[in-house]
Amino acid sequence: MTDPADPRLTDFVGLRDAQLRRSTDRFIAEGLKIIERSFAAGCTPRSLLLQPRWLDGVLPLLAGSPEVPVYVGTEKMIEQVSGFHVHRGALGSFDRPAEASWDDLLAARRLIVCQDTVDHANLGAIIRLAAGLGWDGLVVSPGSADPLYRRAIKASMGASLELPWLRMAGEGDLERLRAAGFTVAASTISPRAVSIDDYQPPGKLALLLGAEGDGLSADWLAEADVHLTIPMTDRVDSLNVATAAAILAHALR
């Protein structure tokens, strides 16, 4: 491919645009490893765009698959199309898989629930640690980032294609968790919260994580059954949400 305006490359155009961050029909896998994990997760490929050096690596993935367009171009051309520096030199466009159902998630034992986590790298890291520490799924608020945006998938190392997740319709869904037998636990830096060192996790637990900076809203804190905190010094006010999630998810797993 030599023309960045070629209509066959439409799936890859302007990937930094905000309106494409919640595409309803596709997601973008960045890098050969994430492309491999997208195939392994059973996602349906639409097309691939890559530098020539990655061609041999993707050919085995296409064996036995329906015909998938593979477009090859220079690094400069790919950057012109996508609007950003493609560090790994390979992009894949895949049909967007369906979200998990409430029935599936409510049958689980350990869920992470994110309120307005807008940073894609943080959300991807949370998904990766949830999968790695044996949590069963993720629920995100309407204002949270998209777990299938390319940066979130990349930060999760493809785990967002494997870990069941869904987006809430509204705050009333917290009551849905409680009705299914979950204890709803809010993470907070409040000195009145229970230390995770002193807390015995119940059989079913939904861990609430707040937005970067502001933490959980007053409404969500009021909805929680218990407030939990990480013992720490007074040298910093708080921890990055993904770092806090890792500590909490490990202690409560």
Q: What is the pTM of this model?
A: 0.91
Grade residue 16 by pLDDT with cuts at 50, 70 and 90.
low
Fold adopted by 7-95: 60s Ribosomal Protein L30; Chain: A; (3.30.1330)
What is the pLDDT of the chain when averaged over all its residues? 91
Structure tokens at 72: 């090859």
**What is the rounded distance in angstroms from the CA atom of residue 226 to the CA atom of residue 194?**
8
Alpha helical stretches, state H, the chain: 32-40, 55-62, 75-82, 102-106, 120-132, 150-155, 173-179, 218-223, 241-251
Distances (CA, A) of 71 to 31, 150, 162, 175: 14, 19, 27, 48
pLDDT tens-place string over residues 117-134:
999 999 999 999 999 999
The CATH architecture annotation of domain 102-251 reads: 3-Layer(aba) Sandwich (3.40)
Q: What is the pLDDT of residues 23-75, one digit of tens each?
A: 678 999 999 999 999 999 999 999 999 999 999 989 899 887 778 999 999 99
Residue 67: the pLDDT is: 87
For residue range 230-244, list pLDDT tens digits in order: 999 989 888 899 999
Give residue limits of the domains in the chain: 7-95, 102-251
* DSSP structure string for 180-249: TT-EEEEE---TTSEEGGG----SSEEEEE-BTTTBS-HHHHHH-SEEEE----SSSS---HHHHHHHHH
- Lookup: tokens for 48: 């691939």
| Phi/psi-derived region of residue 157, left when phi > 0, alpha when psi is between -120 and 50, beta in every other case | left
Contact predicate 28/22, CB 8 Å = no
Residues 91, 78: contact at Cβ < 8 Å? yes
Dihedral pair phi/psi, residue 25, rounded to 5°:
-120, -15
The DSSP code for 68 is -
d(CA 9, CA 47): 9
